[in-house]
């Protein structure tokens, strides 16, 4: 059981609200109850947005469960940034109380593994430095729906990803203000502010992730703004660790502890979960962990039409990103990958970790077209045709999985 979904993990039976145990769960099929008051009525057949995320754009989202909410592909749009109310939600348990975002400046974080360890408020952090980064935030399991062995966990298609701007203090500036790194630190280890039950082994449940300092310290932020407004609880406010180019899980929400450590955390979510293993094999430290993202892309329009397009000029538009590497180019195919044409970028270049909008103008006669896009990163690595099979359904960047049929009449 190497999936990332708490509710379907046999090693994690407990789920909690801000204060106490909610339910003991045995079956992956059980869906969590929302932790708060009433939510608006969903469309027929759809699940309701969880109470902490009712401000999301309900029409644009797919609610897999109260802790997993995806943006529909046809709502991704053609802009450089994903609006916050269309950004996916992926929690591991119900979030802490909404109270923690009422006075964001008062939130406290402990910093360890530096010359002068300290306990700082967000107000303190705001005085230490300021920067922002525009970046793709993406769940490790984005695209899991395409894996034929039906991994446990949410069946994300493309929408467990968005491109957003985080503003905060560079972690580097905080380290400098606290006298520099203590000797021997190799990992940056972040602990989330989820409330854990006192009667269970915290290592089994704690959301604590380690990333290599060497690959992250130059870019990481302790962020309090998402797209220009305080980070909402559903997306990790009041304070979130932001690790550009790394999968979502490493961007720890409501961060309450940051340590520069010699080793990776012993937490289960680091040691055994989020490991890339062969199908049928459990996760363990000997397998790669979900750190750096790979290049990916998908066409967002025209997509999900309810009738054939009429023949003529069409603008095939989408988003592409390089992952941890910068993005180099993107191509589009209308014949299922037999031939490819370079697409044109449009809109602003938001930097190495952002996605970028592309378009290819084509004249289409009546017929059926298999439409696909294929990004290449700055190191020359292209999206593969086929996904790399793995137990948990991680890291799918196959261009074929994201291709679709466009009918022209």
Q: Are 394 and 140 in contact (CB under 8 A)?
A: yes
Q: How far is the CB of 13 from its own copies (least distance, A)?
A: 39
d(CA 370, CA 158): 17
Nearer to its own copies, 245 or 393 (CB): 245
Nearer to its own copies, 205 or 343 (CB): 343
Nearer to its own copies, 139 or 177 (CB): 177
Residue 255: which of 236, 234, 271 has the closest Cα?
236
Residue 167: which of 121, 130, 138 has the closest Cα?
130
d(CA 295, CA 353): 11
Nearer to its own copies, 82 or 270 (CB): 82
Instruction: Give me the residues that bind its own copies (CB under 8 A), please.
Output: 57, 60, 75-86, 126-134, 165, 167, 225, 227-229, 301, 312-315, 317, 346-351, 354, 357, 359, 361
DSSP reduced 3-state for 244:
coil
Neighbours of 306 (CB within 10 A): 4
The full DSSP string for 197-220 is: PTTS-HHHH--EEEEEHHHHTTT-
Scan for tokens 């493309």, then name that residue: 158
Q: How far is the CB of 354 from its own copies (least distance, A)?
A: 7
Show the tokens assigned to 119.
């306990």
Q: How far is the CB of 393 from its own copies (least distance, A)?
A: 27
∠ CA 352-298-153, nearest 5°, is 95
Q: How far is the CB of 213 from its own copies (least distance, A)?
A: 22
d(CA 269, CA 191): 11
Residues in the chain: 409
Nearer to its own copies, 313 or 368 (CB): 313
Scan for tokens 């407990």, then name that residue: 14
Q: How far is the CB of 91 from its own copies (least distance, A)?
A: 22
Q: Are 237 and 101 in contact (CB under 8 A)?
A: yes
Q: Which residues lie across from 229 on neighbouring strands?
A: 226
Q: Are 75 and 83 in contact (CB under 8 A)?
A: no
Q: How far is the CB of 398 from its own copies (least distance, A)?
A: 25
Q: How far is the CB of 18 from its own copies (least distance, A)?
A: 23
Nearer to its own copies, 132 or 271 (CB): 132
Nearer to its own copies, 287 or 345 (CB): 345
Q: How far is the CB of 121 from its own copies (least distance, A)?
A: 12
Q: How far is the CB of 245 from its own copies (least distance, A)?
A: 15
Answer whether the bond into residue 321 is a cis peptide, omega within 30°.
Answer: no
d(CA 250, CA 273): 12
Nearer to its own copies, 129 or 336 (CB): 129
DSSP state of 55: T
Q: Are 281 and 270 in contact (CB under 8 A)?
A: no
Q: How far is the CB of 126 from its own copies (least distance, A)?
A: 7
């Amino acid at each position: 059981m190497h999936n990332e979904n708490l509710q379907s993990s046999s090693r994690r039976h407990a789920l909690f609200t801000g204060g106490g145990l909610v339910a003991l769960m045995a079956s992956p099929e059980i869906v969590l109850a929302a932790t708060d008051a009433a939510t608006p009525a969903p469309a027929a057949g759809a699940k309701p947005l969880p109470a902490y995320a009712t401000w999301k754009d309900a029409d644009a989202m797919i609610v897999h469960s109260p802790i997993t909410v995806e943006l529909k592909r046809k709502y991704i749009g053609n802009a450089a940034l994903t609006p916050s109310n269309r950004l996916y939600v992926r929690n591991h348990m119900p979030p802490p109380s909404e109270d923690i975002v009422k006075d964001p400046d008062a939130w406290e974080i402990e910093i360890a593994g530096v010359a002068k360890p300290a306990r700082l408020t967000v107000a303190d952090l705001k005085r230490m430095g300021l920067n922002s980064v525009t970046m793709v935030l993406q769940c490790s399991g984005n695209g899991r729906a395409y894996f034929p062995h039906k991994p446990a966990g949410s069946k994300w298609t493309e929408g467990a990803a968005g491109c957003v701007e985080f503003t905060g203090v560079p972690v580097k500036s905080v380290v400098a203000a606290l006298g520099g790194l203590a000797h021997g630190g190799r990992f940056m280890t972040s602990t989330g502010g989820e409330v854990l039950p006192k009667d269970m082994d915290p290592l089994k449940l704690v959301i604590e992730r380690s990333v290599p300092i060497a690959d992250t310290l130059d870019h990481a932020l302790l962020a309090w703004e998402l797209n220009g407004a305080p980070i909402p609880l559903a997306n990790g406010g009041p304070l979130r660790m932001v690790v550009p180019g790394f999968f979502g899980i490493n961007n720890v929400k409501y961060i309450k502890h940051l340590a520069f450590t010699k080793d990776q955390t012993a937490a289960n979510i680091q040691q055994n979960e989020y490991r890339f293993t062969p199908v049928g094999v459990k996760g363990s430290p000997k397998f790669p962990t979900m750190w750096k993202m790979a290049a990916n892309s998908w066409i967002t329009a025209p997509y999900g039409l309810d009738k054939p397009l009429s023949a003529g000029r069409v603008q095939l538009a989408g988003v592409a990103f390089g992952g941890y590497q910068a993005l180099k180019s993107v191509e589009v195919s209308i014949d299922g990958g037999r031939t490819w044409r370079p697409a044109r970028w449009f809109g602003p270049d938001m930097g190495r970790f952002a996605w970028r909008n592309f378009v290819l103008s084509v004249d289409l006669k009546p017929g059926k077209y298999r439409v696909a896009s294929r990004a290449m990163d700055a190191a020359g690595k292209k999206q593969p045709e086929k996904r790399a099979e793995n137990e948990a359904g991680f890291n799918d960047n196959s261009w074929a999985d994201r291709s679709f049929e466009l009918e022209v009449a």
